Each structure stands twice: as structure tokens, then as C-alpha cells.
Structure 1
Amino acid sequence: MTVSGFDTRPDLFQQRPLERLRYTVTEANLLRHLDPSPQRVLDVAGGNGVEAVRLARLGHEVTVLDPAGAMLHRAIETAESHDVADRLHVVQAGALDAPELFRPHDFDLVLCHNLLHFVDDPGEVLSAVIAPLRPGGLLSVLGPNSDFEPVHAAVRELDPDRALDTLSGARPAPVGALVALLAGLGVEEVVRYGVRCVSDLLPSLSDDPGFLADLERLEVAMADRMPQLLTARFFHLVARR
């Protein structure tokens, strides 16, 4: 897909450090399981296509599904600027439309990142997005970890009262509930990772490249370590259908 008339070259790797860490660690977790040969990927609610373009740069064929046309326009722009427009496709629709838009077995990998905490029925959405996933294919689910909030309030904000409030207030569905939903849908072999185990707790984040490179290596190493992954900023589930 092509769109003409763009004068700037968006850079995937010029996000703010915390954003870049989220993308980098999530990708590192996923690559532990993903076949390196070209895979067919569906990025549900993929927005501006940053994750899609990163995967396309590795040789995978990626379809971004999102209801926001402006975001899809940005995804195409980014793909063109990184010479992967031939491997990135966009479809303007919602997650629940996936079973009607795609055939069973159309994809080897489905990404469902930062979506489930916005919907009323996570099970309905998960059922829809795995419909075009082939048996043996991978599902990647990323979302905010509710167990991070009290730690952040106490350690970073120095506010134990707020930490207590977060323990008793409304919280997103616990990770265990999502794992149970996945099992009911026939998606098992779930591996849990943490994304940004410590970075959000630092009093400040230096922009020194050497420091950021060391922090990135630390975060990747911690992603599968207990107990650090349990209180990471984001949970990351990688499962096989």
C-alpha cells in the first residue's frame, strides 16, 4: 500500500525512552517463540503501526486492524518510510469484525496489545481475534498490570495512602482471569512476561545512550524473572492455540 505526499521520515526508534523500552522488551519476549521464517501477522488495534513495522522489518507480513483511519494513515506512512510498505496492509474495522473479515487459519500470529482493559467483555474480544489464528499459531496479549499501581504509588510517588487506595479500588481484570479466558477458548501453553519491571520506578530517566542501552538489557533479562515480572508496568502473555 502506498500514500504519496509525505515530506518527513518518521523514526521508529525515536520514541520517548519508556515507550521504546515497551516496544523493545515486548518484541524480545515474542521473538523467543516466533518462527523466524516469514509469518502472517494480525495486529489488532495496531494504531500507528509501530509494532507492525518492526515486525515487517524482520520479514513478516503484517495486517493492521484498527477503526481509526488517521492512525492507519500514519501506519502506512511509517511503513513507506522504512521501505516495508509491501509487507504492511491496513484494514479499517474493529476487533469484533475479525471473524467476518478474515478466514480461519489466515494468520500465524495475532497481537492484541493494550486493548482488553478498554473493552467491556475481554472474552468476546479474545474469541473474535483468535478466530483467524491457525491451530498452533501464537497469540500475544499485552496490558497494564494492576499489581504495578500500588508499588508505583509507594515507591515512585512516595504516597502510601494512594497505594492503599489502589489495593482496594477498581482494578483491571487480573492476569489469572485472562489466562482462564484463554484456556476456555482453546489457547493454552501461556507464558507470562513482565514489561518494564523497574524503569518506571526510577526517580529520573537519563537520556544518556549508554545508560539506556544498559537499562534495556536489564529489562529484557528481567522480563521472565520471578518475582520481578509480577509487578512490572505491563503484563505480556504469549500463548499458542
Structure 2
Amino acid sequence: MTGMYNSARWSVSQQWLITLLDEQFTEHTSGSQVVVDLGGGTGSIAAHLAQHGHDVMVIDPSPDQLANTDRRAREMGLTERLTTHQGDTGTLCEVVEPHSVDAVLCHLVLSDVTDRAGTLQNIASVLRPGGVVSLLVRQPYQRILRHVIDGDLRTARELLEDDGWVRREDLLAMLEAADFTVLSEYGVGAIADVVSADVSTHELLELERAVASRAEWITAASSLHVMARSGAVDKTVTI
């Protein structure tokens, strides 16, 4: 199969995600932010944010991934702004002080944890009042369609019935329960991840942007991005 998941186009989806993050940070935050990238892997997005003046800690369970992040930070001269700590969603509150960060990135992590609601509660607990969370979750449509086109209907049916997907409606309900207010929803990879032709990267990125906020294309995208603001109230008493 040649049409779905063209590897040369993954970079366009990544470019769109980074562009989207930049725009969302500009719109919903102010100035330099203290950021936690939960499950940040090799730190590519974290490094981008650090380059733009934010202080970022990557938390990941893999020592190898963290070593790659540390190497990236050294090579880019970002060691003062980009740090790492081994951990995961379950140890977040042990690694990060309560209400101490401005933003948490949680990209392609929720589908791999059992207690998703608890993870969002933990994220809320480390955010300062009014802090934001950037969530990225995989969606099934393109993956199911890929197998349908290949004639692998059994796998398509298994994916369709798989209860491991983070469904949009469930995600929004969990965010509300954790006292978050949704600020935006966008699709990532709605167009770029299915293009097989050799087309202009710039034009593809602009088309990705054009459809990213449309409801039908959000559903069709390979991933859903949600930005939400913590509604926690700072109850600290100043004497």
C-alpha cells in the first residue's frame, strides 16, 4: 500500500504540530513558561520550546530516550533550559512540585496508560492556576481505513472494536472532571499523513492548516490535539 502513512510526510505533520503549539502558546500563555513534557521521548518538541525561551523538563521512563534528549540539549546549547528526569505518569507528582509549572505537554501518552483520568488529575495538580495542558491522542479512522484498503478487514474490525483508543468524547469528559476548560481542538495529520504524491511541503502544510479546525477533518486526522486550561484556584493565604 502506498497511499496511507507515507513516511516522507510525517515531517509535515510534525511541522504542523510545532506550528500549532507555537500559535497556541502565543494565544493562551504569556512570556517564558515553565513546561513539563511528559513522555517527551528524544526531546525534539522540548528543544524547540527551549529555543524559544521556555524552561522545559522532559520526563520519560526510558533512560535511552533521556540520554538522547540530554545529547540534543548539549549539541544545541540548551542545557540551562532543557533538563530531563526519569519518570512517568504515575510518578509525575513525585518529580514535580504541586502548582509549580505553567504548561504540561502530554503527547501520544494517554493511550498507553491505564488510569487516564488519574493522569489528567495529576497533570492538573502540578499546574499553576490557569496553566495549560497540550494533549495529543491517536485516532482510529486512518488506521482502520489503511487496512480496509489493503483488504485486511479482520484487522480493520479489530481496530474498530478496540477499546484502547482515547475517544474524543471521553477525553473531553475527563478534562471537565479534572476541572479543565478546553481552549481549542485541532486535527494533526488529516492530509499530510495520507499524501503519496511528491507535492510542495509548503502547500501541504497550508492545506493541513486549512482543514485542521474543521469538525469532519478533526475526526479524520491521525491525531487529535487539544489545548485546555486548568481551572484550579490558588488557595494559598498570604499573611
User: Where on the TM-score scale, by shorter chain, does this alignment land: which range?
Assistant: 0.7 to 0.9
Superposition deviation, residue 160 in structure 1: 6.1
Unaligned runs of 5+ in 2: 1-6, 231-239
1:33 paired residue among 2, 12, 24: 24
* Per-residue CA distance 1:97-150 (angstroms, 9 max, x = gap): 111222222111100011111111211222222321111111011011123333
Unaligned runs of 5+ in 1: 1-15
Answer yes or no: is the 8 Å Cα contact 2:190–2:220 preserved in 1.
Answer: yes
Aligned length: 221
1:18 paired residue among 9, 31, 42: 9
Identity of aligned residues (%): 28
Answer yes or no: is the 8 Å Cα contact 1:140–1:237 preserved in 2.
Answer: yes
- What is the aligned partner in structure 1 of residue 211 from structure 2? 222
Instruction: Tell me, in whole angstroms, the C-alpha distance in 2 between the residues paired with 1:130 and 1:216.
Output: 32
Superposition deviation, residue 32 in structure 1: 2.8
Superposition deviation, residue 169 in structure 1: 4.5
Report which structure shows greater RCO (CA 8 Å, sep ≥6).
Answer: 2
Answer yes or no: is the 8 Å Cα contact 1:192–1:224 preserved in 2.
Answer: yes
Q: TM-score if structure 2 supplies the norm length?
A: 0.83
Answer yes or no: is the 8 Å Cα contact 1:146–1:174 preserved in 2.
Answer: no
Q: Letter of the aligned partner of 1:59 in structure 2?
A: G
- What is the aligned partner in structure 2 of residue 115 from structure 1? 109
Q: TM-score if structure 1 supplies the norm length?
A: 0.83
Higher mean Cα deviation, 122-131 or 105-114? 122-131
- SS of residue paired to 1:32: helix
Instruction: Work out whether 1:106 is the aligned partner of 2:95.
Output: no
- What is the aligned partner in structure 1 of residue 235 from structure 2? none
Superposition deviation, residue 18 in structure 1: 3.4
1:1-241 alignment runs, 5 A limit: 17-34=8-25, 35=29, 37-154=31-148, 157=150, 163-164=156-157, 166-202=159-195, 204-206=196-198, 211-241=200-230
Change in 2 beyond 3 A, CA 1:164/1:99: closer
Instruction: Tell me, in whole angstroms, the C-alpha distance in 1 between the residues paired with 2:157 and 2:83.
Output: 45
